[in-house]
């Protein structure tokens, strides 16, 4: 049941997102669209309540409860950024707004960008760990909560791997390709042609 609910919440996230953006731009109802987008957190609340009720009714903690906590954590850490990114593209393509600002591609600016994205992963891990810890405390039986402890370790392994990826942009910054000065190729071609003429 928990896995099914996670799938429903994921599908519901994209359905609400599409409906909210459609109301904001093609239908020109920004307040209605914003109200729909603000309903997104309700999906996570429903998932959290159902997970708690499942444990309360005697279900053994399992990977399903860990996955639910991880999903809620991801939404807490990256959901806002995802919605903002998609809203920017919808405003440009459907609402005639300016093109969204792309993240930097090179140097220290790109490293800072990746660091901010990594902080979202840290927030997600903190939220997921808090939920898993609360679930373990709620069950109150260490013999039954081993899977929850395992998911806590998984959260921070993801943080570590993502952190190394983000750090690589600071340690090995990608450099912008050097552009030839404007007109230099035309000038060189002109000189070659002048030499070739009798």
Give the model confidence (pLDDT) of 140-176 as tens digits: 877 778 888 899 999 999 999 999 999 999 998 877 7
pLDDT at 178 over 80: no
| pLDDT of res. 96 | 83
pLDDT at 184 over 50: no
Structure confidence at residue 15 as a pLDDT band (50, 70, 90)? very high
| pLDDT of res. 138 | 85
| pLDDT of res. 176 | 72
| pLDDT of res. 198 | 47
| pLDDT of res. 61 | 86
- Give percent of the chain above pLDDT 70: 89
| pLDDT of res. 146 | 84
Q: What is the DSSP string of 84-152?
A: HHHHHHHHHHTT--PPPPPPP-SHHHHHHHHHHHHHHHHHHHHHHHHHHHHHHHHH--TTT-HHHHHHH
Give the model confidence (pLDDT) of 63-115 as tens digits: 889 999 999 999 999 999 998 998 998 988 888 888 888 888 888 999 999 99
- CA 38 from chain center: how many Å? 17
Mean pLDDT calculated for residue range 38-63 = 86
């Amino acid at each position: 049941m928990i896995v099914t609910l996670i799938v429903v919440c994921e599908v519901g996230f994209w359905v609400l997102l599409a409906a909210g953006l459609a109301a904001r731009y093609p239908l020109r109802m920004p307040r209605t669209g914003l109200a729909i987008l603000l309903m997104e957190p309700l999906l996570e609340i429903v998932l959290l309540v159902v997970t708690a009720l499942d444990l309360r009714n005697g279900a053994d903690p399992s990977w399903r409860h860990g996955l639910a906590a991880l999903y809620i954590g991801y939404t807490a850490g990256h959901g806002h950024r995802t919605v903002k990114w998609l809203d920017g593209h919808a405003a440009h393509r459907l609402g005639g707004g300016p093109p969204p600002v792309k993240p930097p591609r090179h140097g220290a600016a790109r490293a800072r960008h990746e660091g901010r994205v990594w902080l979202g992963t840290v927030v997600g891990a903190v939220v997921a760990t808090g939920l898993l810890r609360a679930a373990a405390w709620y069950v109150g039986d260490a013999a039954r909560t081993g899977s929850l402890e395992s998911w806590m370790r998984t959260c921070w392994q993801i943080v570590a791997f993502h952190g190394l990826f983000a750090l690589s942009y600071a340690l090995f910054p990608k450099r912008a390709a050097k552009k030839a000065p404007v007109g230099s190729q035309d000038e060189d071609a002109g000189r070659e042609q002048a030499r070739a003429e009798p």
